[in-house]
Amino acid sequence: MSKLKGLAKDDKTENAMLRSRIDEQSQLIMILKNRADEAITRIQTLEKINTELVSFRDNAKEQLDHEIRKFKLLDGRFNDLASNHEELIKYKDEYKRVNIELRRENDLLREDNSRLFSQAILEKDELIGKLEGKLGAAKDQCAALESKYK
């Protein structure tokens, strides 16, 4: 204190100015320290978010890979079904073609059958009718002879 009293007025103002300067610098240092602390906190938060995003990306990649495998499997099965469907269509078309050919052949055979055998059948039916008539007459004659001899 005695030194301070012994200082000149200029020295006191210079001292006060230096003190003021030291206070300003200490305030600036505190501001910079607070900013550094905020920056560290922000960096830690960003690192945590980055870690979470990397984890999310890895999980999403695994899910995407799983879905791609599933898609490839389903696509293969669909292609198999499409191939089988095409084969079934070919079989169906072949069946229809053969069916149409067989129907035509059947119609031709019916026409041939009726054309070739209808006259013969009519003749046979006529002959059968005549023979049945003769058989009836022979039965009557047989019955008459039997009754005559009894």
pLDDT given for residue 2 in this prediction: 57
1-41, pLDDT tens digit by residue? Answer: 555 555 556 555 776 778 888 999 999 999 999 999 999 99
From CA 85, how far away is CA 79, in angstroms rounded? 10
From CA 113, how far away is CA 125, in angstroms rounded? 16
* Phi, psi (rounded to 5 degrees) for 7: -75, 150
76-127, pLDDT tens digit by residue? Answer: 999 999 999 999 999 999 999 999 999 999 999 988 887 777 777 888 889 9
The DSSP secondary structure of 66-114, one letter per residue, reads HHHHHHHHHHHHHHHHHHHHHHHHHHHHHHHHHHHHHHHHHHHHHHHHH
State the amino acid at position 118 in one-letter form.
Answer: S
Q: Is the pLDDT of residue 46 over 80?
A: yes
- How many helical (H) and strand (E) elements, i.e. helices and strands, does the chain have? 2, 0
Q: In the numeric block, which tokens belong to residue 142?
A: 């047989």
Weakest-pLDDT range from 6-15, 53-62, 66-75, 90-99: 6-15
89 near 81, Cβ under 8 Å?
Answer: no
101 near 109, Cβ under 8 Å?
Answer: no
From CA 110, how far away is CA 108, in angstroms rounded? 5
pLDDT given for residue 19 in this prediction: 84
pLDDT given for residue 9 in this prediction: 60
pLDDT given for residue 122 in this prediction: 82
| CA count, 13 A, side-chain hemisphere, 11 | 6
For residue 7, the 8-state DSSP code is S
More confident of the two residues 132 and 8: 132
Q: What angle do CA 46, 48, 51 make, to 5 degrees?
A: 110
Ranges assigned E (strand) in the chain: none
pLDDT given for residue 150 in this prediction: 73
pLDDT given for residue 7 in this prediction: 56
